[in-house]
Amino acid sequence: MDIYLQKQYERLLTSYIKNPTEDHLYSAQQLRKWIMEQRVPPEELVNFHISTIKKLIPGLPPQLKDSFDLLIEVMIGYGMAYQETEKLVNRQRELEYEIEVAVGMQQTLLPPSPPPLEGVDMGIISVAAKRMSGDYYNFVDHGIGSLGIAIADIIGKGIPAALCMSMIKYAMDRLDDQPLSPSETLRGLNTVVERNVDPSMFITMVYGVYDSLNHHFRYATAGHEPGIIYKAQEDHFEDMKTQGLVLGVSRDVDYPEYTIECQPGDAIILFSDGVTECKVDGDFLQRDTLKELIREALPLPAQEAVEQIHHKLFEMTNYQIKDDQTILIIKRVE
């Protein structure tokens, strides 16, 4: 407790003993803030209070003076607990800083927006349920008007999921040099995950390649939530075919490929299971309800459409996100 605080406390205590008023108590509240900012241990403050009382009132009964010794002994225990709390608070601050750094690094792993693709309008939104997300998406240039598109959901949260996400990202970066088919891509990523990720963590993924010259989407899935296809001419929705084990379970896995032919106005909607597993009125969101939300949003530009769908879901779940949500729309516009 520095000299300035000691003088302020002694002056206030002296004045209060002579003529106690509410103003003194208000001043004590203000002084308390300064004492807390200075992180003065409780036993130090009590000890100074007692020494000041002895100085102001020299004729204290011996029994009262002895009771002060007991009080100081008790407060030493509080002081030790206070020091431990201070250590925990400081450690918490360090962890908060580390998490903020990790969140910033995680954001750099995600493309800010879909790259332009001739004749195609794309939009994406990814919202974390907590500070760090277990969802991942990426785009890979396959050349000659073709674009690789990936959405993944890491079964896990926090920093382990972020580390796993970075591994997937850098494994996919190699695809820029020699783009592979969707099936080959998932097989390669499965090998990476199976060898390097803890057995308790798994990754679901859909990876597809959109050919803007012929307007077809060739894809494969690894245990991921089935996407939705919208056929404009029939005004009809279809669920995407999916077959393939999640990444990281077994080394030797085949991932079948499927092809979607896209006509003008058709759309492909991919999403993480945080979308279909959100609860509306206590029940999981029905895919038919999701399709109606998509139908309402599709006339909008793709980016506005995904934002509207997410906002509607946010409203329907009483503004509570239990799991990360990622929504991607690929819409043929010509």
267-282 average pLDDT score = 92
Question: What pLDDT, on the 0 to 100 scale, is given for residue 5?
Answer: 83
Provide the pLDDT for residue 158.
Answer: 67
Q: Is the pLDDT of residue 334 over 80?
A: no
Question: Which helix (H) or strand (E) segment is 172 a member of?
Answer: helix 158-173
Picking from 257, 180, 185, 244, the residue whose alpha carbon sits closest to that of residue 218 is 257
Position 95 scores a pLDDT of 77
Flag whether pLDDT at 164 surpasses 90.
no
Pick the most confident of 19-28, 84-93, 113-122, 272-281. 113-122
Confidence of residue 156 (pLDDT cuts 50, 70, 90): low
CA distance 19 to 38: 28
Higher pLDDT, 214 or 198: 214
Q: What is the pLDDT of residue 176?
A: 61
pLDDT score recorded for residue 182: 95
- Quick check: pTM over 0.75? no
When the pLDDT of each residue in the chain is averaged and rounded to a whole number, the result is 87
Mean pLDDT value of segment 289-304: 96
Between residues 231 and 131, the one the model is more confident about: 231
Structure confidence at residue 157 (pLDDT): 64
CA torsion, points 284, 186, 324, 109, in degrees to nearest 10? -170
Closest CA to 238 of 268, 275, 217: 268
Domains, in order of start, for the chain: 3-102 (1.10.1240.30), 116-332 (3.60.40.10)
Nearest to 138 by CA among 154, 152, 118, 153: 152
pLDDT band at residue 202 under the 50/70/90 scheme = confident
Cα–Cα distance between 221 and 187 in angstroms, integer? 10
Burial class (CB in 10 A: 0-12, 13-18, 19+), 89: exposed
CA atoms of 249 and 155, how far apart (whole Å)? 12
Residue 50, C-beta contacts closer than 8 angstroms, at least 6 positions apart: 68, 71, 72
Residue type, position 74, single letter = V
Between 182-196 and 158-173, two packed helices, what is the crossing angle to 10 degrees? Answer: 130
Contact 234, 214 (CB under 8 A): no
Give mean pLDDT, residues 74-93. 78
**327 contacts 269 by C-beta, under 8 angstroms:** yes
| Residue range 207-222, pLDDT digits in tens | 999 999 999 999 999 9
Q: What is the largest CA-CA distance in the chain?
A: 100
Mean pLDDT of 90-113: 78
Backbone angles phi, psi at 115, to 5 degrees: -70, 155
- As a whole-number percent, the residues of the chain with pLDDT over 70 amount to 97
Model confidence pLDDT, tens digit, residues 17-61: 888 888 888 888 888 888 778 878 877 888 888 888 888 888 888
Residue 263: its pLDDT value, please?
Answer: 97
The answer to whether 291 touches 228, Cβ cutoff 8 Å, is: yes
Give pLDDT, residue 218. Answer: 98
